């Protein structure tokens, strides 16, 4: 996979909006000039009251039929526990056949709140989750390129499995990483790298260095690995509105200690209520488009070329319109 020019994307937050509303927002994003739509994959949302969790596979099929140009993918889906990797390989092969060169698969090692309740089992340690992820990638790629795949892995097995409808072009696999071990795995096996904004330049340099080291270990060129970052932005002509719009995402402001491995949306909602006044700290909050461009530019300088913007407020149409009119042209320039 070769490096890409700048792509500006929209994060379709499945935790926040009902399926039909989310679909219309994705259509609007394409109409306003966004290049990519990335949908989250949640079995349970961050809040019980007023939360949502449409199935990303069903939703992607629907939105792909309503759009013509934007690239579509997950950010991120976990193909290891709640989903078996052969099933994900099958689903994404069909999506890519229907919509050639528009589909990518974003994956990660998962969150307990999305996996454990659905499978009724405990949450594996990071090492097992990482091993599962690497094994899932190997199996999915074999299913996309071979016939009668008999796979004997540590966690997954297939016997003479064939996906009969395969896309002509390989489906890019982007892998999320929040630490150096996960980033090194991306360097070894990923087509793309995904991370989220607001965590400090030092961490991103550490992650990108680990990615490059992983690529070297696998005799790969790290420059061939796409770099995507979800950028949390609350931009509005009204500065007070922009700050207040962050409150639905107060859970993002909770520290690891505050969350304490909580899996229950009701409990996370309760904890987040106490953090609502600092929800804005996880976002670029501004009424000045030049300030937004300057702060987003930091990620471009680090080497990220695919920016997916996460707008926090409930009025997404307003956020999309203002961002597309004021910020996107400046970013492209």
Interstrand relation of 36-39 and 226-235 (parallel, antiparallel or unpaired): unpaired
Instruction: Clarify whether 21 is annotated catalytic.
Output: no
Domains and CATH numbers, the chain: 7-237+285-332 (3.20.20.30)
* Residue showing tokens 């630490």: 179
Q: pLDDT tens digits for the chain (333 residues)?
A: 444 589 999 999 999 999 999 999 999 999 999 999 999 999 988 888 989 999 999 999 999 999 999 999 999 999 999 999 999 999 999 999 999 999 999 999 988 888 888 888 888 999 999 999 999 999 999 999 999 999 999 999 999 999 999 999 999 999 999 999 999 999 999 999 999 999 999 999 999 999 999 999 999 999 999 999 999 999 999 999 999 999 999 888 888 777 766 788 898 899 888 888 999 999 999 999 999 999 999 999 999 999 999 999 999 999 999 999 999 999 998
Identify the CA nearest to 282 among candidates 197, 163, 179.
197
**Coil, helix or strand at residue 272:** helix
Catalytic option among 24, 48, 52, 111: 111
Measured CA to CA, the distance from residue 183 to residue 23 in angstroms comes to 31
Interstrand relation of 7-12 and 36-39 (parallel, antiparallel or unpaired): parallel
Measured CA to CA, the distance from residue 112 to residue 256 in angstroms comes to 13
Measured CA to CA, the distance from residue 316 to residue 320 in angstroms comes to 6
Catalytic option among 15, 30, 42, 115: 42
Q: How far is CA 173 from the centre of its chain?
A: 11
Instruction: Clarify whether 52 is annotated catalytic.
Output: no
């Amino acid at each position: 996979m070769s490096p890409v020019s700048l792509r500006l994307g929209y994060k379709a937050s499945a935790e926040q909006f009902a399926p039909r509303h989310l679909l219309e927002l994705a259509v609007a994003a394409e109409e306003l000039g966004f290049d990519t739509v990335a949908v989250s994959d949640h079995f349970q949302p961050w809040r019980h009251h007023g939360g949502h969790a449409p199935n990303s596979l069903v939703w992607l099929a629907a939105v792909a039929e309503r759009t013509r140009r934007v690239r579509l993918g997950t950010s991120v889906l976990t193909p290891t526990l709640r989903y078996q990797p052969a099933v994900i390989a099958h689903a994404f092969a069909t999506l890519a056949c229907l919509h050639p060169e528009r589909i990518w698969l974003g994956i990660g090692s998962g969150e307990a709140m999305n996996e454990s309740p659905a499978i009724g089992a405990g949450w594996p340690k990071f090492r097992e989750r990482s091993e599962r992820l690497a094994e899932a990638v190997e199996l999915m790629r074999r299913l996309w390129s071979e016939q009668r795949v008999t796979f004997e892995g540590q966690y997954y097995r297939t016997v003479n499995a064939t996906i009969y409808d395969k896309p002509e072009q390989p489906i890019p696999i982007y892998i999320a990483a929040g630490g150096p071990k996960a980033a090194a795995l991306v360097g070894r096996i990923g087509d793309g790298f995904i991370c989220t904004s607001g965590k400090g330049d030092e961490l991103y340099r550490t992650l990108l260095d680990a990615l490059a080291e992983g690529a070297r270990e696998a005799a790969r060129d790290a420059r061939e690995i796409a770099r995507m970052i979800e950028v949390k932005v609350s931009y509005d002509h009204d500065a007070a509105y922009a700050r207040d719009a962050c409150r639905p995402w107060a859970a993002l402001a909770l520290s690891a200690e505050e969350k304490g491995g909580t899996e229950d949306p009701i409990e996370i909602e309760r904890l987040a209520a106490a953090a609502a006044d600092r929800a804005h700290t996880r976002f670029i909050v501004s009424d000045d488009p030049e300030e937004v461009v300057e702060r987003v530019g930091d990620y471009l300088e680090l080497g990220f070329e695919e920016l997916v913007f996460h707008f926090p407020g409930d009025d997404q149409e307003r956020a999309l319109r203002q961002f597309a009119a004021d910020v996107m042209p400046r970013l492209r320039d």
